[in-house]
Amino acid sequence: MTTSALPGDRAGWRPRMVALDVDGTLVDRDGVLAAPMADAIARVVAAGVPVVLATGRSWHSTIDLVDQLGLPAGPTVCSNGAVIVSYPPQEIVQAITFDPREVIERVEAFAPGTLIAVEEIGRGYRLNDHFPEGDLTGELVVQSAEELSALPVTRVILRDPRRSVDDFITLASHLGLQGVTYFVGWSAWLDIAPEGVNKATALAQVAADLGVAAEDVLAAGDGRNDIEMLQWAGRGIALPEAPPEVQAVADAVSLPFAEGGLVPELLRWFG
């Protein structure tokens, strides 16, 4: 693991909140949670430190992992920060929406054939056509572009298996939209969120509610949608599988995921 100075060079620093990306950080690409990671999370929980999942997943795709981890009642950040859910019992604390009409119109004009989906919190998605198997979960309802545009949404997902990640980075810049935030995924996948909304903005609200300062937060992630979170947290850890721009903003880089990933970092503070 690459080492770095503790936040603020303060002797005795220890995380008072742990914020974790899910896919590629907490679980593998098949969604499997390894026993050493589960044990490390249990140690954090046993220490009385809140563990907050911060994911691009929808809530309905995250709840089973929250249950599997046995997390105590508290907040989860979903949909790249647009949605905050307190659970259990389930309560949608925040759902920031925007008008998807301009996004959808521009995508159809600039990149016809792109798969488009909009999220229905806690249920599934409305989409213009079927996504590749396994991409989306929950209730999937195929609708016209006009129907997808009719209501405010927490996010729009763009997907095209025929295109590369670089193609989607180009697509994001060519859309030239105002009033939204982009997150380019590992595959030809683009999440579009309300303007100024990201994992860090949601975590800042969560931390404030818990009485925790940003400098006392340990955060970890491996995707472009984790950049703001890693910059915001007092100690940000990137996985070595993360793109270079993600590693560049981190305070340290963990072991490779297959070699334990974040586990030694967590045990450093909660061993």
pLDDT in tens, 10-69: 678 999 999 999 999 999 988 999 999 999 999 999 999 999 999 999 999 999 999 999
For residue 7, name the pLDDT band (cuts at 50, 70, 90): low
For residue 191, name the pLDDT band (cuts at 50, 70, 90): confident
Task: Show the tokens assigned to 7.
Answer: 């936040």
Q: Which of 6-15, 160-169, 202-211, 235-244 has the lowest mean pLDDT?
A: 6-15
Q: What is the pLDDT of residue 245?
A: 93
Place domain 7-95+198-270 in its CATH homologous superfamily: HAD superfamily/HAD-like (3.40.50.1000)
Q: How far apart are CA 130 and CA 119, in angstroms?
A: 14
In three-state form (DSSP H/G/I as H, E/B as E, the rest C), the secondary structure along the chain is: CCCCCCHHHCCCCCCCEEEECCECCCECCCCCCCHHHHHHHHHHHHCCCCEEEECCCCHHHCHHHHHHHCCCCEEEEEHHHCEEEEECCCEEEEECCECCHHHHHHHHHHCCCCEEEEEECCCEEEECCCCCCCCCCCEEEECCHHHHCCCCECCEEEECCCCCHHHHHHHHHHHCCCCEEEEECCCCEEEEEECCCCHHHHHHHHHHHHCCCHHHEEEEECCHHHHHHHHHCCEEEECCCCCHHHHHHCCEECCCHHHCCCHHHHHHHHC
Q: How far, CA to CA in Å, does 249 sit from each of 98, 221, 223?
A: 28, 11, 12
Does the pLDDT of residue 6 top 70, yes or no? no
Domain ranges in the chain?
A: 7-95+198-270, 101-194
For residue 88, name the pLDDT band (cuts at 50, 70, 90): very high
Domain 101-194 belongs in CATH node 3.30.1240.10? yes
Q: What is the pLDDT of residue 175?
A: 76
Does the pLDDT of residue 79 top 90, yes or no? yes
Residue whose entry in the numeric block shows the structure tokens 């586990």: 263
Does the pLDDT of residue 233 top 50, yes or no? yes
Q: What is the pLDDT of residue 51?
A: 98
Q: To the nearest whole number, what is the mean pLDDT of the chain? A: 91
* Stretch 91-109: mean pLDDT: 93
